[in-house]
Chains A and B, each alone.
Chain A
Amino acid sequence: NAGVTQTPKFQVLKTGQSMTLQCAQDMNHNSMYWYRQDPGMGLRLIYYSASEGTTDKGEVPNGYNVSRLNKREFSLRLESAAPSQTSVYFCASGRQINEKLFFGSGTQLSVL
């Protein structure tokens, strides 16, 4: 039972570098989400995808892009990383609008 799988678990970048965070779910969920978690800030929504082929901005989308590659996969890209993007990133998925979200184990990203 893999659930939601995120890669990598840890990453260190230099300012200006780019990278893609990968997320895949095996629960046949329609909706997928990317959150960032910062101390004292809780989780904030970056982007979400209500279904395959659609993506929408969340609360804090600046500096990020996403791709819903297929129903299983939802990637998050940092084109030019900044120190302010140092955070823990969580991918989540859900089946229906009033049901719970399932979370991956997170990616700890440091931008130097």
Chain B
Amino acid sequence: AQSVTQLGSHVSVSEGALVLLRCNYSSSVPPYLFWYVQYPNQGLQLLLKYTSAATLVKGINGFEAEFKKSETSFHLTKPSAHMSDAAEYFCAVRPSGGGADGLTFGKGTHLIIQP
């Protein structure tokens, strides 16, 4: 079964600094990978997704992620953090082979932006 591991339950960066949120996946075949963001008291919104078309994926709000098969990683980055980026971020995986059994989520990383 596929799974994802998010390193760091909390990440704190200064406004304007680089944001790096780590995600490693475990899957026997290259899966589909997703990053979602959750703002306080809201549902989850898709930031970006990887479905094998390109290894560097650009998402909304200036975020991007790079799929690295050799490292089984799908880390999320943003060059310059903004106060509005403060939220919970979830990495998720689903098998590329099919099935409708939803996404498997990581435990989340809380991003804190210091002024």
Q: A residues touching B (Cβ–Cβ < 8 Å)?
A: 4, 30-31, 33, 35, 40-45, 48, 50-51, 56, 58, 90, 92, 94, 97-98, 100-101, 103-106
Contacts and interface: CB of A to CB of B under 8 A. Distances in A.
Interface stretch (B11-19, B70-78, B103-111): B103-111
Nearest to B42: A105
Contacts of B43: 4, 90, 103-106
Interface residues of B, number: 25
A97 B99 contact: yes
A7 to B, nearest CB: 14
A97 B94 contact: yes
B102 A92 contact: yes
A45 to B, nearest CB: 5
A40 B9 contact: yes
Given A33-B102, A103-B44, 16 more contacts: A30-B100, A35-B105, A40-B107, A42-B106, A43-B90, A43-B105, A45-B104, A48-B101, A48-B102, A50-B101, A90-B43, A92-B44, A97-B98, A98-B32, A100-B46, A101-B46
A53 to B, nearest CB: 13
Which of A33, A48, A51, A101 is most buried by chain B, counting CB atoms within 10 A of its CB? A101
A57 B108 CA distance: 23
**A-B complex: 6 closest residue pairs judged by Cβ atoms:** A103-B43, A50-B100, A42-B107, A43-B105, A42-B105, A100-B46
Contacts of A43: 44, 90, 103, 105
Contacts of A41: 107
A103 B45 contact: yes
Contacts of A105: 41-43
Contact of B100 (A35, A48, A104, A106): A48
Interface in B19-54: 32, 34, 41-46, 49, 51
Nearest to B49: A100
